[in-house]
Amino acid sequence: MTLASNHVVIIGYGPVAARLAEELLPSVRQGLLALTIIGEEAAAAYNRVLVADLGVGRTSEEAISVSDPAELEAAGAVVIRGVRVRRVDRARQGVLLEDGVWIPYGKLVFATGARPVVPPLHGLNPDPAAQVPLPRGVIALRDLADAAVLRDAVDRRAHVVVLGGGILGLEAALAARDEGAEVTVVHHGAHTLGRSIDAGAGHTLAAALRARGIQVVSQARAVGVSMAPGANGEASFAALLQENGSAVPGQLLVLSCGVRPRVEVAAGAGLSTNHGILVDHTLASLHDPHVFAIGDCAEIRCLDGNCPECANSTGPLGLIGPGWRQAEWLAAFLTGFSPEALPAERAPVMMLKARGVDVAVAGDVAAGPFDDVPGLAVSLWADPEHGKYVKMNTRGGVLCGFISVGMPRAGAELTLLFERGSELPADRSALLRLNGPDREIVSVPDPARTVCRCAGVTEETITGAVSDGCSSVQEVSAATRAGTGCGGCHGDLKKLIEAHFAPA
């Protein structure tokens, strides 16, 4: 393989890399680009957001697959799977694989994603470079093998211990509990979702979790894991040890302690890194116009110290939607279409997707109703006995942050108002009444409404696909990409399909 200026090499074969490859495929078919994709996993790209659903039997590997290697190869791309990258030589513009294969590049794209954080507990090795597998009965719920272990535990009605009180950990806990497993959530802070919601919402959510049969251990300091002989004599997880000397028993430990961008290979090649690989607003790495980064491993922070878009950058968002939009923009850039500047990502709306437990949060929610913050007005309503909590923070009447727990219709309306930068009604209680028992659910068509936030698909696009003959969520997803991300919009897709066919 010889060096060619039109040879694009992608390191990583996850959902963001797959989207980039898909967008580049027309140019590959025309012979305008050569494309090589290098994936560390043997499996083709799949949606990691849905690994927990796979682990409890709610979906299949086929359903969460987002790429077809055979299609890529038929178009002329080279897909290498199950091989790690040893190093990148930027001076010679080449990638050396662990099996000794040398791949030259014209443009190199890092789409290496993020790796799960393994806490420094006694009995676990937190060093990602050590390549030491987690002990039996301990998973990070990040790949297909982890999903298989969780599925086995759920099928056995085993006791699952989830370490971490973030979105993904709680979704996994609720899903496992719904499917019959005994579940305990252990977290360090005073309340769950401590980085996203305030104490009142956190305690309301914890009460909702307990009402669903999930044990919640707060303000815990885990220090180690205890192992015991399993059925075949091999040592397996038996308990999570706490600093106070207590232990949380279980048969499976799910680590949900966050993720860190995978920057080791990039850093080894001399690229500038912080939380992620530092790139400018064209997604090109600082000081090397031949190397790019997208998705969870990319941190947009340009060299202009006065850049307003970079001023408040906190690193990669860790969401699939922004990664897909970066992939689509970079594909246009690499194929010479010179797109307009990559738009800055708005503050995301975070949602807890679980049956019967609805949480939505976005923006600045730190201040309380009686805090003296100039220009900020805070409205708060709480009914912890019934698992309901709403907080609305406004500036000049415009919603700048909100929390909604146990109020799905109010949360949906607040999400819409937040994303549009709209003013709230003068009577804030009007939003609360959306969840009243006497409130009739009337679906008002809104063509401009974004139904799928991951793929950025509007209601108009979805209804158009349904009018063209799509009659299932799967068919709509194939035609529009809606529902191929976190899966949180599947209910809305189904409602739009049913509304179209209802007259028939």
Q: 17 and 95: one domain?
A: yes
Q: 438 pLDDT band (50/70/90 cuts)?
A: low
Domain count within the chain: 4
Mean per-residue pLDDT for 258-281? 95
Q: Which of 196, 223, 257 is the last residue of a domain?
A: 257
How far apart are the C-alpha atoms of 110 and 292, rounded to whole Å?
6
Q: 380 and 468: one domain?
A: no
CATH (domain of 388): 3.30.390.30
Q: 226 and 271: one domain?
A: no
Cβ contact 223:248 at 8 Å: no
> Which amino acid is present at 209?
L
Range with the lowest mean pLDDT among 167-181, 211-225, 341-355? Answer: 341-355
Q: What angle do CA 102, 106, 107 make, to 5 degrees?
A: 105
Residue 385 has pLDDT above 70, yes or no: yes
Q: Which of 257, 272, 301 is the last residue of a domain?
A: 257
Q: 261 pLDDT band (50/70/90 cuts)?
A: very high
- Is residue 125 exposed (0-12), middle (13-18) or buried (19+ Cβ within 10 Å)? middle
Its pTM stands at 0.89
The per-residue pLDDT for range 314-323, each reduced to its tens digit, is 778 778 889 9
Q: Give me the domain span that covers residue 364.
A: 350-435
Strands of 67-106, DSSP E: 78-81, 85-89, 94-97, 102-104
Mean pLDDT computed over every residue of the chain: 90
Mean per-residue pLDDT for 494-500? 81
Q: 106 and 182: one domain?
A: no
Residue 2 has pLDDT above 50, yes or no: no
Q: 201 and 295: one domain?
A: no
Residue 441 lies in a domain: no
How far apart are the C-alpha atoms of 376 and 374, rounded to whole Å?
6
Residue 231 has pLDDT above 80, yes or no: no
Q: Which of 404, 435, 466 is the last residue of a domain?
A: 435
Q: 102 and 155: one domain?
A: no
Residue 329 has pLDDT above 60, yes or no: yes
What pLDDT sits at residue 437? 62
CATH (domain of 455): 1.10.10.1100
Q: Name the β-bridge partners of 392.
A: 379, 402
The per-residue pLDDT for range 445-480, each reduced to its tens digit, is 677 778 887 777 888 888 888 888 888 887 788 788
Range with the lowest mean pLDDT among 123-137, 342-356, 434-448? Answer: 434-448
Q: What angle do CA 50, 56, 57 make, to 5 degrees?
A: 90
Cβ contact 150:134 at 8 Å: no
Residue 16 lies in a domain: yes
Q: 99 pLDDT band (50/70/90 cuts)?
A: very high
Q: In this structure, is the dihedral angle defined by the CA atoms of residues 67, 70, 75 and 81, taken in order, positive or negative?
A: positive
Phi, psi (rounded to 5 degrees) for 195: -85, -10
Structure tokens at 452: 């799928």
Instruction: Give the number of C-alpha atoms closer than 13 A to the C-alpha of residue 41, restricted to the C-beta side.
Output: 17
Residue 341 lies in a domain: no
Query: What angle, rounded to 10 degrees, do the helices at 490-501 and 459-467 form?
Result: 50
Nearest CA to 456 out of 309, 297, 353, 328 is that of 328
What pLDDT sits at residue 274? 93
What pLDDT sits at residue 442? 46
Mean per-residue pLDDT for 220-230? 92
Q: 170 and 201: one domain?
A: yes
